[in-house]
Amino acid sequence: MIIPAEIPILMYHRVTNTDNKPSTVAVDRFRAQMQYLARHKFYTLTCSQLAEYISKGHLLPAKPVLITFDDGYRNNYEHAFPILQEFNFTATIFLVGNHIGKFNSWETNPSIPRYPLMNRSEIMEMAQTGIEFGSHSMSHKPLNQLSLTEAKKEIVQSKQFLEDLLGKEITSFSYPYNGYTPTIKEFVQESGYTVACTAGSGPRPLVQSRINDLFELRRIIIPYSCRLLEYKLRVSGFYLFFKDLGDKKRWFKKS
């Protein structure tokens, strides 16, 4: 049996040494991860670049990988950005429209610290180097828990807000809290986006030039605990296949 390699779409949040929360990656560890990608000649794409390759039927570069960040934390600018530049990598960062230049005040868990988010000048500096910015909604509410009217407003208004901020079209979206439904996916597509990312759910996303759903791109979460050996597995192109296989085996044992 031949298992076709997938395109790894990596999901980060914060890059900092100030805490050890699951959604944080230490600076040295992030650099080691990027160094591994560089040494093994991975080719970074933004989400919109991937969508363009797929929609136009173009052959993808050898060993493609997508590096994505949710929320737009300032430590992405302070720590991740210089490392990405060092290795000439690009990435996609999903911003929360109402919180730019503020804090992650959507967090209700008191154990999660309040982190500053990037401001406009930091965003513009990164955008000028080729970093892509996408939408993570206006307020970071789970869209599947809102009325359809409110959900669509979050999708449409955040696109317009970021386009006004950056002066360029915004075509990538990330579902806050992974809260999406078939209807919400349709809203994203109808609103002019070309691609949307989940947080680990959905079908295995890409097998080279074949794609299941550009509006349900399944990402590989990179947690604080991810050491380099595990990271190599996650970016190998087979991680989701074996993860799903293991999940199915556990389900059958329970049933």
Quick check: 143 pLDDT over 70? Answer: yes
Band the pLDDT of 71: cuts 50, 70, 90: very high
**pTM: predicted TM-score of the whole model, two decimal places:** 0.90
List of domains in the chain: 9-254 (3.20.20.370)
- Average pLDDT, rounded, for the chain: 89
Three-class HEC string of the chain: CCCCCCCCEEEECEECCCCCCCCEECHHHHHHHHHHHHHCCCEEECHHHHHHHHHHCCCCCCCEEEEEEEECEHHHHHHHHHHHHHCCCCCEEEECHHHCCCECCCCCCCCCCCCEECCHHHHHHHHCCCCEEEECCCCCCCHHHCCHHHHHHHHHHHHHHHHHHHCCCCCEEECHHHCCCHHHHHHHHHCCCCEEECCCCCCCCEECCEECCCCCECCEECCCCCCHHHHHHHCCCCHHHHHHHHHHHHHHHHC
7-18 pLDDT, tens digit per residue, is: 899 999 999 999
